[in-house]
Amino acid sequence: MPDAALLPVDAPFPLRRRFRRRILPGLLVFVLMLAVLAAFGGRRLVEGIYLDLAQARAESIAALIQREAPEGWSALIRGHEPPAVVWAGPHAEALRGAFAEALSDGRLARLKVYRPDRTTVFSTDGDEIGAVDDGDALKALVAEGRPQVVDKPDPDGPLYELYVAHRDAGGAVVAVFELYERQVFLDAILLRTLAPAVAVPVGLLAGLVWLLARLVGRAQADIDGRTARLVDLRRRLETFVSRSAVQATRSGGGAAEGRRLVMTLLYSDVRDFSGFAELATPEAVVAFLNHLMSLQVAAVQDHGGDVDKMIGDALLARFDGPGAEARAVAAAEDLLAAVAAAGLPRGVGVGVFTGAVVSGAIGPAERRDYTVIGDAVNVAARLCTLAAAGELVADAATLARAGIDDAAWAPVQAVPVKGRREPVPVRRRQGRVVDSVSTECAPGS
């Protein structure tokens, strides 16, 4: 089975989640910015248009009053007499009639007219005539000549104060008109202007987001399906190689290159497998090996070992890290006990040895095998040949490092090992003998 610690790499690329967390918020921010900019630009545009209309209306009012009461109008805006005096003079009646006609269309809620010195010469509220207005908007218009728009609260509904200048033929400001308009007029214009400007791009973006979401959803489903198939294939392939090979492959770089290590090796082999294979059917042989290897692999993995390879009826396992010797011996004991309890037609012998090996990938780039190579592997296999069915043979040094010294183990015995000049001190752990001893323990026996 794959190493659980490596499983997060199996997760498919989270395209949908990244779209929702990164792309979608960006699109929403863009839409919001578009709406804000459209509202700001639209408002400025509408205010400019409305000021132009106010300017035209002011000029129309000035022309009407100039036509109906020319002398009175001239006295109001150009004279030096206080406005109250003009309104009490001979031109008052003509002025009142002219202003009444100017206000008759009903669109203007209020109207004020100022001299350039900010003195009020006309107001729909007569009490204000003659007063000097200190408002910032009026000051700004007189100083800069630019029309102004000001929000004005009112019990009957909010108003807009629109300040526009009336100029003479030479361009000099001779009067300032303050027109009061209900905000409903401007809001209606604003709504008609902004609605298409915002709704069209927002609708297009919403359609784009919907389309992208569908495409991303389909892509994610395809990615998930492909990833699941690849993961399933990888996991099945991993059952054919050791966990060490999987880790080395995933680590990349030079992890698969040969490294010199000291580890404890466990080698097991079926006693008289050739005789069993001769008498049994091929199907029975395969079933026997599958059952046997399942028991052995479970025992090795339970003690933190890694099955390096299975060669026919033989198994090579590796143990490294802290307590490798003790774990290897414990795995061998559990392995033998499990095989004995299963009542299989043949038993196994086990050899355990600790020594230096080279761990890495062997073979050409087109076909490589990740395994351990070295004298220690050969010695472990030779010790296996010394073990009877149900018996474990381990070198004395491994048992000493594992802290094992009990009566279940035979005394130390120096045995000759093929390929070594000096005998190897070993000890045997007696087990249940199921079949006769076999001296065939080399790979492929």
Tell me: the pLDDT tens digits for 29-66? Answer: 887 787 777 777 766 776 777 788 888 888 999 999 99
7 in any annotated domain: no
Of the pLDDT bands very low, low, confident and very high (cuts 50, 70, 90), residue 206 is confident
Contact 162, 141 (CB under 8 A): no
- CA distances in angstroms from 412 to 20, 312, 326, 417, listed in the order given: 69, 31, 18, 15
CA gap 341, 361 in Å, rounded = 37
- CA pair distance 357, 244, nearest whole angstrom: 14
> Do residue 111 and residue 260 come from a single domain?
no
Say how far apart CA 263 and CA 251 lie, in whole Å.
Answer: 21
Of 90, 87, 64, nearest to 76 by C-alpha is 87
Q: Does 227 fall in a domain?
A: no
Would the pLDDT of 310 be above 60?
yes
Give me the mean pLDDT over the 349-363 stretch: 89
The pLDDT of 390-404, averaged and rounded, is 94
- Considering the chain, what percentage of its residues have pLDDT values greater than 70? 83
Q: CATH no. for residue 302?
A: 3.30.70.1230
| Structural domains in the chain (count) | 2
Confirm if 389 and 349 have CB atoms less than 8 A apart: yes
How far apart CA 127 and CA 125 sit, in angstroms, is 6
Residues in the chain: 445
Q: How many CB atoms lie within 10 A of CB 39?
A: 14
Report yes or no on 4 lying in a domain: no
Region 132-156 average pLDDT: 85
Highest mean pLDDT among 69-83, 187-201, 292-306: 292-306
60 shares its domain with 128: yes
Q: What is the DSSP letter of 410?
A: P
What's the confidence (pLDDT) of residue 315? Answer: 95
Provide the 3-class DSSP secondary structure of residue 287: helix
Give me the amino acid identity at 192.
R
In the prediction, which pLDDT does 238 show?
Answer: 62
Taking 70 as the threshold, does the pLDDT of residue 150 lie above it? yes
User: How confident is the model at residue 413, as a pLDDT?
Assistant: 92
User: Does the pLDDT at position 7 exceed 80?
Assistant: no
Contact, 118 vs 139, CB < 8 A? yes
Domain boundary (167, 189, 211) is at: 189
Q: Is 247 helix (H, G, I), strand (E, B) or coil?
A: helix
Q: What is the pLDDT of residue 349?
A: 96
Q: Give the list of residues 6+ apart from residue 51 with CB closer than 8 angstroms, or none.
A: 147, 149, 162, 164
Does residue 26 sit in the same domain as residue 164?
yes
Question: Could you tell me whether strands 369-373 and 314-319 are parallel, antiparallel, or unpaired per DSSP bridges?
Answer: unpaired
Residues 163 and 308 in one domain: no
Q: Which of 24-33, 131-140, 183-192, 290-299 has the highest mean pLDDT?
A: 290-299
User: What is the Cα 1 distance to its own chain's centre?
Assistant: 29
Same domain, 51 and 153: yes
Say whether both 143 and 279 belong to one domain.
no
What whole-number distance in Å separates Cα of residue 323 and Cα of residue 408? 21
Domain contains 345? yes
Helices 92-102 and 70-78, interaxial angle, to 10°? 90
The pLDDT score that the predictor gives to residue 302 is 95
Is residue 160 predicted with pLDDT exceeding 80? Answer: no
C-alpha 20/C-alpha 231 separation (Å) is: 25
Sign of the four-CA dihedral 337, 341, 344, 346: positive
137 and 53 within one domain: yes
3-state secondary structure of 308: strand
Residue 248 banded pLDDT, cuts 50, 70, 90: low
The pair of three-digit structure tokens given for residue 68, joined into one six-digit string: 């109906």
Q: For residue 201, is pLDDT > 80?
A: no
Residue 242: band (very low, low, confident or very high) from pLDDT cuts 50, 70, 90: low
Radius of gyration of the chain (CA): 50
Is 200 inside any structural domain?
Answer: no
Asked if residue 9 has pLDDT above 70, the reply is: no
In terms of domains, do 147 and 273 share one?
no
Same domain, 116 and 247: no
211 assigned to some structural domain:
no
At 23, the pLDDT band (50, 70, 90 cuts) reads: confident
Sign of CA pseudo-dihedral 193, 194, 198, 199? negative
Q: What is the mean pLDDT of the chain?
A: 83
Q: Nearest CA to 1 among 369, 334, 444, 300?
A: 300
Give the pLDDT of residue 249: 59
CA 318 to chain centre: 40
Domain boundary among 149, 170, 189: 189
Q: Is 0.85 topped by the overall pTM?
A: no
CA distances, 411 to each of 53, 393, 416 (Å): 116, 12, 16
Q: Is 327 exposed, middle or buried (0-12, 13-18, 19+ CB in 10 A)?
A: buried
pLDDT bin (cut points 50, 70, 90) of residue 183 is: low
Model confidence band, residue 437 (pLDDT cutoffs 50, 70, 90): very low
Domain containing 114: what range?
A: 15-189
pLDDT band at 231 (very low <50, low <70, confident <90, very high): confident
Same domain, 249 and 141: no
Write down the pLDDT at residue 232. Answer: 78
Clarify whether residues 180 and 261 are in a common domain. Answer: no
Rounded CA separation 410/297 (Å): 27
- pLDDT tens per residue across span 401-424: 999 888 789 999 999 988 888 999
As a whole number, mean pLDDT of residues 232-247 equals: 64
Structure confidence at residue 103 (pLDDT): 84
Residue 395, classed as helix, strand or coil, is strand
Q: Is residue 331 part of a domain?
A: yes
Burial 92-102 (b: 16+ CB within 10 A, else e): eebbeebbeeb
The predicted pLDDT at position 432 comes to 39
Angle at 33 between CA 32 and CA 35, to 5 degrees: 65
| Same domain flag for 170 and 264 | no
Residue 35 lies in a domain: yes
Give the CATH number for residue 74.
Answer: 3.30.450.20
Under 8 Å between Cβ of 378 and 356 = no
Closest CA to 72 of 91, 97, 100: 91
Tokens of residue 302, six digits: 């339970």
